[in-house]
Structure 1
Amino acid sequence: MKVRFRFPNGEEVDVAGYEALNLLAHGQIAERSLQSRCGGHCECGTCRVIVESGAVSAMRPEEKALLARLGVTDSRVRLACQTFPADSKLNVVGVPAEKFIDARGKKSG
C-alpha cells in the first residue's frame, strides 16, 4: 500500500501506507508537516486534505460534525487525523494551499 501526497507547489511524495496509521502520521513519515493545530484530536479542522483516489476509512460522527460546523460540503475533504488508508492501492491525498481558521477560532500556520 502507498500513500501519495500532492502539495500545492506541485511536489508529490510517496510513502508506504499502513492501515493502522492516520494520514497525519503518514505526513510525518513523508517528513512533511501537515497543518494540525489540535495535535490530531479532531478539535480544530486544520488538517484537511482532499482524498483524490483510493479507499479510506469511513467518516466517524465526530469528524462529520466538525466538517459540517466548518461549512465543508465536498465529500472528498477529510481530516488527516481521522482518516486511514483502507486498501492496498495507491491513495492520493491533495494538501490544500490555504490556511484554515480552526473550529476554535485560531488561524493555522
Structure 2
Amino acid sequence: MLENKESFRLLYQAISELSVRIGDNQIETNSVSLLLLDFDFEHEVFDKLMLAIMKYLGNVSLDDINHRELLVLIDQTIPEDRQLNEFVKNKIIIGFANNYFPELQTVANDIKNEMGMSIAKSK
C-alpha cells in the first residue's frame, strides 16, 4: 500500500490531523508514538521507554511515583546523543499515562496543571 517516503509522510500527516481533532494540544498528549515520531525517534525508543516505565512502576507504590524520577528515567532511556526539554518529557509522561499506564494519571494531571499555569503566565 505505502510504497515511498511521500506516502508515509501523508499517513503521518493524516494521523497528526486526527490527533489534533481529538484533542491533542500543547498540554494533552493523545499519542506518545506520534510525539516520538515528531522528534524522529525510532520504534526502538518507544519500546525502551515502555519497558523502563513498566519496570519503574513495578518497583514503586502508587503513592511513591515521582515526577522527577520519571524525567530522569526518560533521559536515561533515550539515545545518548539526543536531548529533550522538560516540556517534551512531560508530554511523553502524559502520553504514556493516557494510553498505557493509568497509574501515571495522577502525576500526569499534576503535570498538566503546572503546564497550564505556565502557559497562562506567559500570555
Instruction: Report if TM-score (shorter chain) is over 0.5.
Output: no
What interval of TM-score do these two structures reach, taking the shorter chain for normalisation? Answer: 0.3 to 0.5
Normalised TM-score (structure 2): 0.33
- Could you say which structure has the higher helix fraction? 2
- Could you say which structure has the higher strand fraction? 1
Q: Report which structure shows greater RCO (CA 8 Å, sep ≥6).
A: 1
